[in-house]
Every structure is written in C-alpha cells, then in structure tokens.
Structure 1
Amino acid sequence: MAGRIALDDIDLRIISELRADGRLSVNELAQRVNVSRATAYARLDRLRSEGAIKGFTVVLDPEVIGLSVSAIVFVNVEQRTWEESVAELGGLPGVERVLLTSGEFDFALLVRFRDLGDLRDVLLGQLQTMPHVRGTQTLFVLQEHDNGLDLSLLG
C-alpha cells in the first residue's frame, strides 16, 4: 500500500480538473488552475510518481455498450483463502471490481453482463463451483449514480 502524501489546494484543484476532463493538456490545466505551465507539469508529475494519480482511463457507460445487467455479488470463502480468492474472483467474466470486506461477507463483486443468462452462467457455472467459495448472495443494481471521490474530506 502506498504511503500518504500531503495534498495542498493546488494539488486538489489539479486532481479535480483532471477528473472532469482527463484529456486536458498541461497548458490548459495550468490555465484552469491558475499556475504556470512548469508548476502544473511538476505537480502532475509528482502526483503520478507518488501514486496519488494512478493513471488515466476511459469511463464507459455500461448501458450504452450493451452491459445492461449490473449486480453486486457478495461472496464468502473458506477461511484463510482470501489472497488466492482475490485473483480467482477477479478472473471471472463480467467482474469489474473485487472488494475485500468485513462483516457478514468476505467479498463484494461489482459485475456487469449483457443479460440474465450470462449472469446466471457465471454465477452458477463458475463462481459457485470454485473450491474456496462457501456461499453467495446477489443484489441487482437498479440504478447507478457516481458521486466520485469527495476531495473536500482532505481539506
């Protein structure tokens, strides 16, 4: 796990602008944050090298690309198998996110599929036949709203 780094107001503004548009040029970023190009470049380079910014990606709309069935699958595994289970669960088709959790379930998976048949095939044909899996519970996602990371918690 990466260590914590101190983020000042300029860092937070840079992150905020890049979250809104990850394709900004350094020149445009500098203008929006009201710093020099050299400062914007140095700050961006530091944020990337210290791990605050892990990368840039495309955000897809699952519905638009045909993945209209989303669910959260809670999974319990055999004791002391969580490390190998992370890789196994993450390798299943349709798994977007694997979360190790506390409480009643060991893992929560965010999964996306074209239809219920594909979901059924993975749940019954692959997930529930894994040797470490003790049980599952599936909740369908009816609607999503992504608030993004609340940067005000850092200030």
Structure 2
Amino acid sequence: MEKIFKGMENGPEVIDKNFNELADPKRDQTVNDLTVKGEIKGKDKVYYHKYFDDSRNFGYIAKRYGTSVDVIIYNKNGDAKSPLSGNNTLIDSQHGLPAGFRPSEMSYGTLFGDVQPALLVVWLDGALSSNKSALTQDNYWNLSGSVHFTTNDDFPG
C-alpha cells in the first residue's frame, strides 16, 4: 500500500493500485497488538462434544473440523444396556448432537454389536437412532460405531 497525499502527480494510479492490492484474495494480513476476549473461531479449529449415558453404559464423541463432523459411538467395558429406547432411538435430540455438530441432511453410518452390524442414523435435530431388528439384547455387548457427514451449522459457541 502506498500512502496518498494531496497534490500527488500519480494519485489516480496509486489509488487504483491500492484497491487492486486490497482486492487480492492472497493478500497477507498483518495485525499488530491484537486483543481477543474469548476465543478465535474458524475453519482450522477443531471442536469436540462428548456425551455418555452412565445408566446405559454408552455414549458418543463428536469431532468437528471445518464443515466435517465425525461421530464415534462407544461403550465402556462392554455391556451396553438397552441402547434402544422408543422409536429405535439410541440418543434422543435432547442429549444428541448440539447445534454446530448437526448434519446438513440425514446421515448414515454403521453400528456394531457382537453379532451383526446395524444402521446408525443421525437426524437433523441431532438425535441418533438405529434399526432395532439388528440390535437385540444378545448382540450389543460391545456396542461401537461411526458416521461422517458435513454440516451447514455455524461454529459451536
């Protein structure tokens, strides 16, 4: 950037050059003495959200980076207890993925028990569910699963 002053002979050219420099998307920005109250949010930061239901011995960890979200379902020491409640719900929207981690469209992953895989569904409201027929008392001893999707949500607060 070139300084502009009254009476410059090449003023219009310098103004045009300065505007072109400002419009360059590759332009580096230097900030001196930046004070931030809170945290800086953005596409390069990684955000986590965790939930664990002690009474049923399973939960999830959600990781957001950019517009991508990974969710991992896990349990501790085997023996996930009655993972499905009404409507094939694993985790309802109240305890499901919060704003900032929700999918832009219904998303599907895989859920594993001891015997056979099942479908893991992530709803727009953050609830997680599965197909009950694949998750019976006999085959969710070591419940685990994962799903990957994109989100249009703002970054978490």
Query: Structure 2 length normalisation: TM-score?
Result: 0.23
The structure where strand makes up a greater share of residues is 2
Computing the radius of gyration from Cα coordinates, the structure with the larger value is 2
